[in-house]
């Protein structure tokens, strides 16, 4: 399995870093740019943070709580500051600083690449794209846990797209695969680490990634086209709390709302953009009182149709990257894998009826 990515990985140039060299490398990166990497947050939770010290970086982690989107689409952001008396406004500068993201999983970067599509197409959005300038991504391999299913949505562990370097852990350190010129430059400048011959043999073992979705990912848009009236939506809505946690944690959810905040002087203030979620009841509510997506079942259906149908049709890729966050952190313990499999069951049932 994993033939393509795994084979292409084997063909790349690589060096070996032991753990100390790896931390030295992070230190080297920190001299050149701001470095963002997974750090320990709680007992069993991790978070992408700006690092001060290479020792903070965690190499082996299942997933961070938040995806990378917060670095490009901040949870709250000032669009402009205004003055009501003068009817004037001024936009804050968005600085484009050099940033290197270290220790990123493939599904994570795939999520970000999908966001890129949404902010580039139609009317390109400066705020997001400006923050995307001058960023490098260094990937790392991971061991899938019960919640991951990125393989089932077409994203292999070793998917290299977007990375400049890719770290594969060995017992004593990392094989560092050089993916592109930027990565090569970094490794050459760093100048440490043992170069490794391509025909040398390593214990490069493919990780076990159980297939969790019953259909091939290519068929999922077709499934979603046929399950709009499925009873599954109603079943989920009996458990769902409509809290929007899945929206907040999803790497490809980017809907937002805009609100004015005014200071106590009643003159100055700011127009802020902040994350919103289609699972929240007020999302499609208009001022006259009409709510165009009121039932919880229709909100769940909309959210998942966006991931597996609407955006998939327009962008060409599924907009679920299989990170498993929405399921792992769902307070109602709703598992997206179960939903998809139930929908597939429904779809397969329809097909059978047609055949009879």
Partner 1 sequence: MEVETIVTEKKELYTPTISEIVAVETLTETEKLFEIALPGGEMLNHKPGQFVEVSIFGFGEAPISICSSPTDLPTFKLTVRRVGRLTAGMHRLKEGDRLGIRGPFGNGFDVEAFKGRDVLFVAGGIGLAPLKSLIDYTLAKRDEFRRVIIVYGTKNPAEILFKQDIEIWQQDRDIEFHMTVDRADAGWQGNTGVITTLIPGLNLDAPETAVAVVGPPVMYKFVLMSLKSKRIPDENIFMSLERRMKCGVGKCGHCQINSVYVCQCGPVFNYPFVRSLEEAI
Which positions touch partner 1 (CB under 8 A)? 32-33, 79-80, 82-84, 87-89, 91, 96, 98, 116, 118-120, 122-126, 129-130, 132-136, 164, 181-182, 185, 228, 254-260, 262, 266, 269, 271, 273, 276, 278, 283-290, 292-293, 298, 302, 305, 309-310, 313-314
d(CA 46, CA 39): 5
Alpha carbon distance 146, 209 (integer Å)? 10
For residue 167, give both structure tokens.
């770290």
Q: Which is nearer to partner 1, 143 or 185 (CB)?
A: 185
- Name 262's bridge partners: 269
User: Least distance (Å) from partner 1 to the CB of residue 98?
Assistant: 5
Q: How far is the CB of 18 from partner 1 (least distance, A)?
A: 25
Q: Which two tokens stand for residue 59?
A: 């190499």
Give the ranges where 180-230 is alpha helix by DSSP (H): 181-190, 220-225
CB of 123 vs partner 1, minimal distance in Å: 4
If the CB atoms of residues 151 and 270 are measured against partner 1, the closer one turns out to be 270
**Contacts by 241-244, CB closer than 8 A, 24 or more apart:** 241/331, 241/332, 242/279, 242/280, 242/281, 242/296, 242/299, 243/279, 243/331, 244/277, 244/279, 244/280
Nearest to 55, CA basis, from 76, 32, 39: 39
Please identify, using beta-carbon distances, which residue of 74 and 169 lies nearer to partner 1: 74
Query: Closest Cα partner for 253 from 321, 162, 301, 313?
Result: 321
Q: Nearest distance from residue 196's CB to partner 1, in Å? A: 25
Nearest distance from C-beta of residue 204 to partner 1, angstroms: 28
In the complex, what is the shortest distance from the CB of residue 125 to partner 1, in angstroms, rounded to a whole number?
Answer: 6
Residue 100 or 157 having the CB closest to partner 1: 100
CB of 308 to partner 1, least distance (A): 12
Tokens of residue 314, six digits: 């327009």
What's the closest the beta carbon of residue 95 comes to partner 1, in angstroms?
Answer: 12
Residue among 194 and 262 whose Cβ is closer to partner 1: 262
Residue 89 near residue 125, CB atoms below 8 Å: no
Nearest to 48, CA basis, from 99, 120, 116 = 99
Task: CB nearer to partner 1: give 182 or 243.
Answer: 182
Structure-block tokens of residue 55:
């020792």
Q: Closest approach of Cβ 36 to partner 1, in Å?
A: 14
Do strands 14-18 and 194-196 pair parallel, antiparallel, or not at all (unpaired)?
antiparallel
Question: Rounded to whole angstroms, how far apart are CA atoms 167 and 188?
Answer: 16
* Closer CB to partner 1, 206 or 313, in the complex: 313
43 vs 93, which CB is nearer to partner 1? 93
| CA atoms of 27 and 29, how far apart (whole Å) | 5
Pick between residue 16 and residue 89 the one whose CB is nearest to partner 1: 89
């Amino acid at each position: 399995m994993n033939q393509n990515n795994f084979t292409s990985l084997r063909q790349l140039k690589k060096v070996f870093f032991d753990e100390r060299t790896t931390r030295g490398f992070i230190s080297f990166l920190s001299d050149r740019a701001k470095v963002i990497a997974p750090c320990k947050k709680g007992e069993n939770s991790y978070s992408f943070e700006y690092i001060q010290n290479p020792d903070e970086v965690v190499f082996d982690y299942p997933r961070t709580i938040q995806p990378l989107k917060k670095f490009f689409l901040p949870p709250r952001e000032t669009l402009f500051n205004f003055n009501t008396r003068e009817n004037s406004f001024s936009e804050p500068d968005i600085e484009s600083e050099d940033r290197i993201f270290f220790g990123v999983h493939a599904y994570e970067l795939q999520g970000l690449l999908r966001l890129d599509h949404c902010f580039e197409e139609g009317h390109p959005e400066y705020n997001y794209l400006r923050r995307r300038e001058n960023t490098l991504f260094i990937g790392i391999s991971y061991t899938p846990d019960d919640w991951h299913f990125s393989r089932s949505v077409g994203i292999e562990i070793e998917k290299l797209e977007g990375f400049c370097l890719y770290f594969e852990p060995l017992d004593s350190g990392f094989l560092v695969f050089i993916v592109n010129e930027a990565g090569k430059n970094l490794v050459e400048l760093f100048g440490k680490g043992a170069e490794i011959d391509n025909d040398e043999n390593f214990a490069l073992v493919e990780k076990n990634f159980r297939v969790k979705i019953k259909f091939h990912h290519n068929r999922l848009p077709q499934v979603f086209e046929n399950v709009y009236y499925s009873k599954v939506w109603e079943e989920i809505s009996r458990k769902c709390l409509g809290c929007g946690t899945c929206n907040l944690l999803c790497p490809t959810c980017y809907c937002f709302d805009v609100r004015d905040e005014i200071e106590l002087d009643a003159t100055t203030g700011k127009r802020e953009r902040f994350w919103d979620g289609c699972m929240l009841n007020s999302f499609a509510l208009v001022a006259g009182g009409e709510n165009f997506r009121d039932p919880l079942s229709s909100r769940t259906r909309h959210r998942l149709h966006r991931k597996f149908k609407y955006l998939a049709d327009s962008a060409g890729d599924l907009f679920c990257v299989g990170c498993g966050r929405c399921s792992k952190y769902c307070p109602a313990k709703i598992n997206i894998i179960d939903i998809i499999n139930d929908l597939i069951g429904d779809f397969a049932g329809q097909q059978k009826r047609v055949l009879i």
